[in-house]
């Protein structure tokens, strides 16, 4: 990863923060995107390598364009876009949380599309680029209360696979990573009290560290240009 330019959304905590730290430790230069710039400033000050802080709300296409532009403007190129920002407004569909459903579509789906729209022209012009997107095991095992959340994640999985098939000239690589329970702040975006309590309990009981997911992402990034790790599933050994 030495010398790679990596932009990360959702970099202020959890998996995004972990991959930023690991990337920097392994020689990458990083562009940190999230809404909480106070956290990004602290993170950037702690990294061993060069880092740029860029306030990024993935629901705003202009913010993703700015994230990519900052990478190219200050580092000369962009090698990897890690779309990690996501929310989980899960709960029974009978709760009719239409606003929550819309929010998940805006962040989990449109946010990824905004990143693709911003970075793909740059990748095409460079002749290389790598999209890495955090999906979820929720899309692999559908359970009550997570239907819409899983739908957004499966939509993204489909988008990445379609982009992969459109990019077999070897210039663009795509990786979808599906984590199970990970110790992150994702539960805080859940409004349904019962569901939030259940997710928090599971995180305490058996969730894995975000650093484990970061190492899996690094494995995909460190492959030679002719090798693509299209999909990774990583979960706690105790997760059903």
Residue 213 covered by a domain? yes
Residue 223 covered by a domain? yes
Percent of the chain clearing pLDDT 90 (strictly above): 81
Mean pLDDT of the 164-178 span: 94
pTM attached to this predicted model = 0.93
Q: Which residues are catalytic?
A: 149
C-alpha dist (Å) from residue 39 to 47, 147, 154, 184, 199 = 13, 32, 30, 15, 24
Domain range for 81: 5-234
For the chain, the domain total comes to 1
CATH classification at residue 39: 3.40.50.720
pLDDT confidence band for 81 (50 / 70 / 90):
very high
pLDDT higher than threshold 90 for residue 203: no
pLDDT higher than threshold 80 for residue 192: no
Strand order in the sheet with 172-179: 51-55, 29-34, 5-9, 80-83, 129-134, 172-179, 231-234
Give the model's pLDDT for residue 53. Answer: 98
Give the model's pLDDT for residue 158. Answer: 96
| Rounded Cα gap, residues 51 and 44, in angstroms | 6
When the pLDDT of each residue in the chain is averaged and rounded to a whole number, the result is 94
Residue 239 covered by a domain? no
């Amino acid at each position: 990863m030495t010398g790679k330019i990596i932009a990360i959304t959702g970099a202020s905590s959890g998996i995004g923060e972990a991959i930023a730290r690991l990337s920097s430790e392994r020689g990458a230069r990083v562009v940190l995107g999230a809404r909480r710039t106070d956290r990004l400033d602290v993170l950037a000050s702690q990294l061993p390598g060069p880092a740029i802080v860029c306030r990024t709300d993935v629901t705003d296409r202009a913010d993703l364009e700015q994230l990519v532009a900052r990478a190219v403007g200050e580092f000369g190129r962009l090698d990897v876009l890690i779309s990690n920002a996501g929310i989980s407004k899960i709960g029974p569909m009978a709760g009719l949380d239409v606003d929550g459903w819309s929010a998940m579509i805006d962040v989990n789906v449109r946010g990824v599309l905004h990143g693709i729209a911003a970075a793909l022209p740059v990748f095409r012009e460079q002749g290389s680029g790598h999209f890495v997107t955090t999906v979820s095991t929720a899309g692999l095992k559908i359970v009550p209360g997570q239907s819409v959340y899983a739908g957004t994640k499966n939509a993204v999985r489909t988008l990445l696979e379609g982009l992969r098939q459109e990019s077999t000239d070897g210039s663009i690589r795509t990786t979808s990573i599906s984590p199970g329970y990970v110790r992150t702040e994702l539960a805080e975006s859940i409004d349904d009290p019962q569901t939030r309590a259940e997710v928090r309990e599971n995180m305490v009981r058996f969730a894995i560290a975000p650093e484990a997911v970061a190492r899996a992402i690094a494995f995909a990034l460190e492959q030679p240009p002719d090798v693509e790790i299209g999909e990774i599933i990583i979960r706690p050994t105790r997760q059903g």
